[in-house]
Structure 1
Amino acid sequence: MPLPLTTTFRDVMATAERPLAGMWVCSGSPLIAELCAGAGLDWILIDAEHSPNSLETILAQLQAIHGYPVHTMVRPPVNDTVLIKQYLDLGVQNLLIPMVHSAAEAEAAVAATRYPPEGVRGVGSALARAARWNRVPDYLARAGETVSVAVQIESAAAVEAVEDILAVEGVDAIFMGPADLAASMGLLGQQEHPKVRAAVERCLDAAKKAGKPAGVNAFNPDTARHYMDAGAGFILVGADVALLARGSEALAAQFVPAADGDGPTVSY
């Protein structure tokens, strides 16, 4: 039996002839994940940093998505060796590691995905879906082939260190998060600020020079196209929860009379 799903996001990016468009899946719902997987996008990101996802819900979504012609990346809540080990054992093959601010942190992320002596991943293939419970021959020797690692550049410190981060062996791509980047620059909520866009573009340029793919989050269509023209090889252009929020608001605006022009109300 060959290794399952050996085409990683790293392999896809190496042969892509255009920027790859994807979306966030944040609901924690396998049904929504499957719905999005069949939409025709190139890739989806299951998020556990800012979304209600556990090991169990991630597993259910991986199972729901399996078989659809879409590439799946998963973001853990933190750059943590134990969590990364658990994600890999679930069968996650493409990781997006958040808040990587230095080459040392990038090295730690890569080490968490490799068995010794190349890394520190704990060995539990007999218990793991990734190895099909030891039904995959030579899994321990070849597991690295099935994993790609992208790290997030989302702070001013990370931008300054981007060349060193890109030079880390095993970092397959970088991905810019303009929201956190803006906050770290004292520009909270101003992802479109010229200084933020310039920082993103600096990272895109550094990745091109390093020969590695770079991606970015951009829900504004004009900004997304700008970054694609500037060299972004993969991009997130929407999210399941955002689409549902705006779509339901549009229905309410169309069919429910507004009271004194008020919009949706929120209570905590």
Structure 2
Amino acid sequence: MSTNLLQDFKKKISHQACLGIFSKTTDSNLVEAAGYSGLDFIILDQEHGTVTLETLNNHVRAAKISNLFPIIRVKGVDAHAIGAALDTGALGVQIPNIATAEQAKAAVQAARFYPKGMRGVCRFVNAAQFGTQPKDQYFDQANQSVVILQVEGVEGIQNLDAILEVPGFDILFIGPYDLSQSIGKPGQVDSPEVLSLMQQIAAKAKAKGILLGAFSDTIVRNQSLKNEGFNYIAHSVDLNIFSIALSQIIKKD
């Protein structure tokens, strides 16, 4: 595990905003190139992406080469998927659609080794240098990985107090698009109702000392999230960023 990259990221995000992107590419070169931009982190997306576990292993290597903090978003609360994501050597795992404290506990249990959880054990994986890393060192470092829980629906908001009481996760992430869908306003992420709900969630998380994260697809929103105390800001998606950049070139030609 890249101990310095892990500790440096955790230190930075504890006191200032970090900026990353979601990634749906199947090309590890694009992941590596993203790191050279100066981004803090990248979320390799299995929930809405097509990337395979084999490719994720190479994506994680590519991110680490360019000093980019690699996080994998799995499809949901699935112990096998969470463990497999961390086995790639990813330094963080993001679990979507957390609606109850029981789901939050299950996600943390799947992401941590004993005594913090019950993650399935195999040290002959990328994360443990294929069995060459000392056992005690691997298990200790693995339990320091960043765990991000996504709350993005009405049920999750209703159960938020109980979710925030669950120990062992690092960041609470709000998905504004799913939040807008859950209140019957799909895509209206700037509506007063969505913004108000996000602020309510943020206030409760801050009161518990839990770091906040959210998705943004505009530069303006990035700044407002920073002003509201969000330290984990995921800006748009790599392929969309690429497409928009090309269209801007064409417009200026």
Q: Would you say the 8 A contact 2:108–2:117 is kept in 1?
A: yes
Instruction: Report the alpha carbon displacement of residue 246 of structure 1 after superposing the two structures with TM.
Output: 1.9
1:178 aligns with 2:191: no
Higher mean alpha-carbon deviation, 103-112 vs 244-253, is at 244-253
- Take 1:105 and 1:75, find their aligned partners in 2: how far apart are those partners? 16
Instruction: Report the alpha carbon displacement of residue 238 of structure 1 after superposing the two structures with TM.
Output: 2.6
Higher mean alpha-carbon deviation, 137-146 vs 62-71, is at 137-146
1:165 to 159, 163, 166: 163
Instruction: Report the alpha carbon displacement of residue 143 of structure 1 after superposing the two structures with TM.
Output: 4.3
Residue of structure 1 in register with 2:41 after alignment: 43
2:133 to 123, 136, 147: 136
Residue of structure 2 in register with 1:209 after alignment: 207
CA RMSD of aligned residues (A): 1.9
Alignment TM-score, normalising by the size of structure 1? 0.86
Higher Cα Rg: structure 1 or 2? 1
Q: Would you say the 8 A contact 1:19–1:235 is kept in 2?
A: yes
Instruction: Report the alpha carbon displacement of residue 69 of structure 1 after superposing the two structures with TM.
Output: 2.7
**Secondary structure, counterpart of 2:130 in structure 1:** coil
More helix by share: 2
- Take 2:182 and 2:69, find their aligned partners in 1: how far apart are those partners? 30
Q: Percent identity?
A: 26
Alignment TM-score, normalising by the size of structure 2? 0.91
Cα separation, partners in 2 of 1:70 and 1:186, compared to 1, 3 Å: same
Q: Would you say the 8 A contact 2:32–2:65 is kept in 1?
A: no
2:220 to 215, 219, 222: 222
Higher mean alpha-carbon deviation, 163-172 vs 30-39, is at 163-172
Residue of structure 2 in register with 1:109 after alignment: 107
- Take 1:102 and 1:10, find their aligned partners in 2: how far apart are those partners? 26
Cα separation, partners in 2 of 1:141 and 1:27, compared to 1, 3 Å: closer
Instruction: Report the alpha carbon displacement of residue 252 of structure 1 after superposing the two structures with TM.
Output: 5.0
Instruction: Report the alpha carbon displacement of residue 4 of structure 1 after superposing the two structures with TM.
Output: 3.8
Instruction: Report the alpha carbon displacement of residue 224 of structure 1 after superposing the two structures with TM.
Output: 2.2
Pairs aligned (count): 250
Residue of structure 2 in register with 1:263 after alignment: none
- Take 1:169 and 1:191, find their aligned partners in 2: how far apart are those partners? 29
- Take 2:161 and 2:12, find their aligned partners in 1: how far apart are those partners? 23
Cα separation, partners in 2 of 1:248 and 1:159, compared to 1, 3 Å: same
- Take 1:211 and 1:171, find their aligned partners in 2: how far apart are those partners? 12
Structure 1's unaligned 5+ residue stretches are: 256-268
